[in-house]
Structure 1
Amino acid sequence: MPNFYADRLFNALERNDPAPGMLLVAAPGMFSPEFARSVVLIIEHSDRMTFGVNLTARSELAVYNVMPDWLPVTAKPQALYIGGPVNQQSVVGLAVTKTGVDMNDAPQLNRLANRLAHVDLRADPESLAELVDGMRLFAGYAEWAPGQLHEEIENGDWFLAPALPHDVIAPAAQDLYGDVMRRQQMPLPLFSTFPADTMDN
């Protein structure tokens, strides 16, 4: 059964290489329940490791209660997101810059893709107010050992797609997984409503 969706979705698709600013989109029928219908933004990819954050897992914890200084630049819903299972005591910040901002002139921003940045949370939040359209804060992250992610991609667990700025600060009502699937080549849009648990279908 694990190869069923891989055969249909991945064998005919162009394979992209993981890179910062790319999305890892979970295959329909993802074996790992914690990553079912997940969309992970890759922040770092090297021979040593890959890490990123899941953009779809919102917690019930308000940013105001844990990092109130960052509230003015946090996009709604202003909740802490669960970036992944690793080191959930740490927080990762991502931002969407305003149009025209040159990230080379902003040392607190590490460019990932067009208008997408990894934020140095040691910076003064007020210094970002004129630079960003919004931020997300993520508790923890997802991490892969050397070679692990490539193996999972070859197994058909994930496919890669370019990230768009609004993916990071999607509103609460948006089905990000469905939206990302719908903008891909066929047959991926057909699986945009695939449930996290097939028993719900």
Structure 2
Amino acid sequence: MASDRRVARDVLPLAPGRLLLASPELLDPNFADTVVLLLDVDDGGALGVVLNRPSVLPVGEVLGEWEDVVDEPEVLFQGGPVSTDGALAVALATPGGEGAAGFRAVWGRLGLLDLDTPRELVTGTVDRLRIFAGYAGWGPGQLQAEIAEGSWYVVGGEIGDVFSDDVRDLWRRVMRRQPGELAFHATRPTDPELN
């Protein structure tokens, strides 16, 4: 497994828009087999949302005014174990809409949308939207330590990853497109004991 640790550290530096793919060594049930989109990385730590944990709760039951704006599936996603009673909205701004009310760009046209923004101010400024209950957060140096111990692979993200309508196989799809030996991890069995 030492080569897994080397590969994980050497892939890409941490930055908004990067994806964290949970390695087989990450046993925390909050993050096993997850794909996390990094939204903020600085000296104070890192923040992201889990992309592949849809809940069964329709957005309309909690945030009714946003139900016809969110992408399929129209459910809240479990963004992570921190502040699960709050919601983060990740949006793709229309071209030129990055300066719209309530929108803060984090990676190109991708950013966070303040759900307290009046809906009429958002209309026409957002192409895609997904809402996450909670988020994943790390203190200063914590995520870097987890990467160094082999818990995460850091890879480039694509807009399609963020708004995929079928997230069941997202981890494997993202892993398959990685260069070199990292792509081989896409073929690992769900339970390595069965190999």
Match among 62, 65, 69 for residue 66 of structure 1: 62
**Hey, what does 2:133 align to over in structure 1?**
139
| Preserved contact between residue 102 and residue 113 of structure 2 (Cα < 8 Å) | yes
Please say if 1:39 is aligned against 2:35. yes
Question: How many correspondences in the alignment?
Answer: 194
The match for 2:83 among 69, 82, 87 is 87
Using a 3 Å threshold, how does the CA distance of structure 1 residues 199 and 59 change in structure 2: closer, same or farther? farther
1:171 aligns to what?
165
In structure 1, list runs of 5 or more residues that go unmatched. Answer: none
Q: Deviations over 1:20-66 (max 9, x none)?
A: 22111111342222211111111111212211110011101000100
How many percent identity over aligned positions? 35
1:36–1:196 CA contact under 8 A, matched in 2: no
Larger mean Cα displacement after TM superposition, 76-85 or 120-129: 120-129
Aligned 8 A contact 2:20 2:154 in 1: yes
User: Equivalent residue for 1:192?
Assistant: 186
Q: Deviations over 1:140-174 (max 9, x none)?
A: 11111111111011111112122211111101365
Q: Is the 8 A contact 1:76 1:171 kept in 2?
A: yes
Q: Secondary structure at the match of 2:77?
A: strand
The one-letter code of the counterpart of 1:66 is V
TM-score by length of 2: 0.89
* Distance of aligned partners of 1:131 and 1:190 in 2 relative to their CA distance in 1, 3 Å threshold: same
Q: Which amino acid is the alignment partner of residue 135 of structure 1? A: L
Q: Distance in 2 between matches of 1:195 and 1:134?
A: 33
Residues 193, 58 of structure 1: alpha-carbon distance in 2 compared, 3 angstrom cutoff: farther
Q: Which residue of 2 aligns with 1:97?
A: 93
C-alpha displacement at 1:102, in angstroms? Answer: 4.3
* Aligned counterpart in structure 1 of residue 111 of structure 2, from 117, 135, 157: 117
Instruction: Describe the superposition over 1:65-87 as per-residue Cα deviations: whole angstroms up to 9, x where unpaired.
Output: 00011112100000000000111
Aligned to 2:149: 155
My pick for the range that moved more, 15-24 or 79-88, is: 15-24
Unaligned runs of 5+ in 2: none
- Aligned with residue 100 of structure 2, among 106, 110, 114: 106
**3-state DSSP of counterpart to 2:120:** helix
Q: CA RMSD in A?
A: 2.0
Once the two structures are overlaid, the 10-residue window that deviates more, 146-155 or 121-130, is 121-130
Shift of 1:12: 4.5
| Distance 1:174-1:180 versus aligned 2 partners, 3 A rule | same
1:11 is matched with which residue? 6
Q: Structure 1 length as normaliser, TM-score?
A: 0.87
Amino acid of the residue matched to residue 77 of structure 1? Answer: P
Asked if structure 1 preserves the Cα contact closer than 8 Å seen for 2:12 and 2:156, the reply is no
